[in-house]
Each structure stands twice: as structure tokens, then as C-alpha cells.
Structure 1
Amino acid sequence: MDTKQDLPWRLAAAGDFLGRAGIVAYFSWAASIRVSTIYAGIANWSTLAIDHKALWLLSQIAVLLFLLLVVVTTFFRLKPIQSADGIEPRITALAGTFLLGLLSFTSSSTPPPAVAALGLALVMGGFALSTYVLFWLGRSFSIMAEARRLVTSGPYAVVRHPLYLTEELAIIGVVLLDFTLPGLAIGIVHWCLQLRRMHNEERVLRAAFPEYEAYAATTPRVIPQLFRPLLRGTA
């Protein structure tokens, strides 16, 4: 017989299932749109009115691989052992994930060929690196601030939040490809949300894993140690 003590566990399990189903459905839909875009581009390759067609195609493939891996890792992810309290971490996580959809409502512009090449290269490289990081993170992946398993090796030995770093590289590319003041503002707000997400996630990880404190003390948050002297203006 169920008891009142079972209710919080059942509610948490139901919430995790609904969240998992929503993420899988949304990113599966996004991946299907990307497949259609790639197919249409290849089918109309000779008349495709895009600069740097090869870079464009590679960037589209990189985005598709990332979306598919989000679906797979979300479907098979581990159950959370700790979650952030309150509504703010959830709102921040959702806003940080879906805010960039507003870029489709901003007025478009055509960048110069050199800027377009840089933007496409950043999108391709950013999503390719994001796919690598997500593959390493595996079943610990989560959009919400939750703890599943502490990952400190691979790209996570370089910085504590490599996925946010690589995603931002891609987002800079997206903003460059369709540069407008509203688009730039959306990009800046998005980065601020990501910084807040890092804070929320670290608070959960510190509560779930006592060893996280030592890991955080020796691993930069988001800027690799190699580039820190450049940011300080020293050799």
C-alpha cells in the first residue's frame, strides 16, 4: 500500500518523466527540421543562394548531430540524486535553453562574405565541440540544475562548464550570421542566463558531491587556464 512518504518520490519521478518526454519531443522535432533543411539544401545545391556552401552544410550537420545526441542522452539519462530548490533555477534553465528562438523574430541582415564564413565556422566548430562534450557527459546530462553523476575528466578537466563554453561559440556564430541589435541583445541576455545556470548547477553539485569543492578549486569555471594570461593582458 502506498504511504504519504511515497508521495514526494512519486511526484519527483513523474516530474522527471514529463521533463524527459518534453525534451525528447522538442529536440526530436528540431532534429527533423534540420534533416529537412539539409535535404533541401543538397537537393538544390546548384541553385542554393548561400555563401560558403560547404561550410553551411557542415554547420547544419554539426547542429543535427548535437540535437540527436541531446535526444539520446536525455532518453537514457540517470535519475537525479539532487535538484535545485525553488522556481528560479527552473525558469533560468528553460529561458537559457529556449531564448534563442526569439532570433527567428528579429529582422534579418546579410553579413559580408568574410563575416558569414566566420559565423559558419563558429557554428560548425561550436556544435561539433558541444557534441563531443555532451558525449563525454553522457547520462549525466540535464537541462535543469540537477545532480546525477559527477564528471571531472575529459573536457571537464579543462573547465567546469565546457558545454556552456562550446555552445556560446556556436551562438556567437549564429549572431554574426544574422547580426542585428535585437539579436545582439538576445545573445548578451542569453550569456547572462548561462552564467546564472552555472551558479545554480554548482550549488546543487556541491550539495550532492563533497568532492566537488576540491574539483572546483583546481578547475576554472569556464575560461581555460591557457587563456587566462591573455585576458589579464600578461604574457
Structure 2
Amino acid sequence: MTQLRVTSERLSNVAMGLSVVFSGFMGMAQTGSSDRWTIVRVSCAVLNLVVGSLFLFRSRPKREAPWSMIACCLPSVLIGGLAFRITPAPHAWPLGAQLLFAAAALLVVTSFVHLGTSFAVLPAIRRVIVHGPYRVIRHPAYLGELLLTVACLYANVVATREPLMPTTILLVCFVTVVLRIRVEERFLLQSADYRQYVMRTAWRLFPRIW
């Protein structure tokens, strides 16, 4: 039974990884020539390639979070996707939003690459990573994802001249990320390695703030 579960999980990771990589390639292929090689589209393709590759090679978790905790973490994932869906075409983004998006994508990619085989989307106890950006804050990938959202909403405001909805989405996104961090850490603190990590790296999301 255990071997069957391991095989099933491995196949699921392979399917997810290939799906994400394929989605990245299709996103580039189906994008018009005016948008295909923009900073935003290339950044998205790189994110897809890295995330898909990490799914293929990540290790099994030592312990998985209960579904109640996983459910609390899902809203932040969905809100980030919503922010990207309401953006204008990549070529219409202001340069500032494009550069912020690229910088945020670089932070996310760097954080994920440092996770390596400990990469995960949902909370699970795995090998604790303490180097790279994880020496500064405990959740650098979430900071990068927040900045990606800010860049998307900035582009939307410039295009629509309507700040109310983007501001609301940003506030909701921030609240859901904070909730996700609190729920995840409540679970991860069951690990002695993570408790030691918390003592070494005090800041969750913003250095010297929180």
C-alpha cells in the first residue's frame, strides 16, 4: 500500500510538472508577436519552467498538513491568479510595472531554486532550507508573489484609471498571504528543525517589520 502511494504521488508530480512546463510553452506560442518577447511574458515562461521542473524532482514530504490547513492556504493562490487575469496585454504595461514584475519573478525563481527538492505549493514538512534568501526572511517566495500581484495591479490601474478594484484585490491578497503564513507556520513548528530556523531567522515576510 505504501509503495502504491509513493508511485501515485510520483506520477502526480510528473503530471503536474509536465503540465506546468507545457502551459509555459503554450503561453509563449499562443501569444501575439507584439507580446511574445515582452518582459512580462518571458518572466511568466521562466516561472512556469522552473516550477514545472521542481515538481518533477521534489522529494516526498515527511508529513503533510491536514486538509483544514490546506484550505486556509488556497485563497492566496487564487487571488494571485485573479490579479494577473485583469491585467492589460503585456505590451501595454508601463515600464515600471514590467520591471517590478521581472524583479519579483526573479525573487520567486531564486527562492524556489534554493528550495530545490523541498519545493512545495501547499504546507508540508520537508527539509528546512536556511540559505540564500531564506537567511533573510522565512517566506521570500511569498514576498515575491505579493510583488508580482502589485505589478499586475499597477498595470491595471494605469490602463483603466480605476484604482478601487485593484486596491481591494491587493488588500485581500495581503490578508490571505498573512493568513497562509500563520497557518503554515503553526504546522511547520511541529518540526524541531523549523523551530531552530525560526530562532535564527526572525522575520517572516518583511525584514525588521514582520
Which of the five TM-score ranges fits, normalised by the shorter chain?
A: 0.7 to 0.9
How many Å apart are 1:19 and its aligned residue? 5.2
RMSD: 3.0
Structure of larger gyration radius: 1
User: Quick one: which amino acid aligns to residue 199 of structure 2?
Assistant: A
Secondary structure (helix, strand or coil) at the match of 1:178 reads: helix
Q: Shift of residue 135 of structure 1? A: 0.9
One-letter code aligned to 2:79: L
Which residue in 2 is equivalent to 1:156?
134
| Distance 1:23-1:175 versus aligned 2 partners, 3 A rule | farther
Say whether the 8 Å CA contact 2:21–2:48 is kept in structure 1: yes
Matches for 1:188-227 after TM superposition, within 5 Å: 188-208=171-191, 210-219=192-201, 220-225=203-208
Shift of 1:102: 2.9
The farther-off stretch of 97-106 and 117-126 is 97-106
Q: Quick one: which amino acid aligns to residue 170 of structure 2?
A: G
Q: Which amino acid aligns with 2:17?
A: V
**Do the aligned residues in 2 keep the contact of 1:120 with 1:173 (CA within 8 Å)?**
yes
Distance 1:39 1:77, change over 3 A: farther
- Given that 1:23 and 1:74 are in contact with CA atoms closer than 8 Å, whether structure 2 keeps it comes out as yes
> Aligned pair 1:36/2:29, yes or no?
yes
Q: What whole-Å deviation, never above 9, does each CA across 1:52-89 have from its counterpart, x for those lacking one?
A: xxxx822322221111100000111000101112x332
CA contact (8 A) 2:65 2:187 kept: yes
Is the contact made by 2:142 and 2:177 (CA closer than 8 Å) also made in structure 1? yes
Alpha-carbon distance in structure 2 between the residues aligned to 1:18 and 1:142:
16
Deviates more, 1:214-223 or 1:134-143: 214-223
Q: Distance in 1 between matches of 2:153 and 2:8?
A: 34
CA contact (8 A) 2:21 2:53 kept: no
Determine which of 60, 82, 96 is the counterpart of 2:63.
82
**SS of residue in 2 equivalent to 1:203:** helix
Moved more, 57-66 or 22-31: 22-31
In the other structure, the counterpart of 1:57 is 38
5 Å matches for 1:167-206? 167-179=145-157, 180-206=163-189
TM (normalized to structure 1)? 0.72
Offset, 1:224: 1.7
Secondary structure of residue in 2 paired with 1:156: helix
CA distance in 1, matches of 2:193, 2:65: 18
Question: Where do residues 117-136 of structure 1 align in structure 2 (5 Å cutoff)?
Answer: 117-136=95-114
The verdict on how the C-alpha distance between 1:84 and 1:42 changes in structure 2, with shifts beyond 3 A counting, is closer
Matches of 1:168 and 1:64 in 2, distance apart?
18
Larger mean CA deviation between 215-224 and 29-38 belongs to 29-38
Percent identity (aligned): 22
Structure 1 residue 184: Cα displacement: 2.8
2:24 counterpart letter in structure 1: A
1: distance between equivalents of 2:133 and 2:34?
33
CA contact (8 A) 1:145 1:197 kept: no
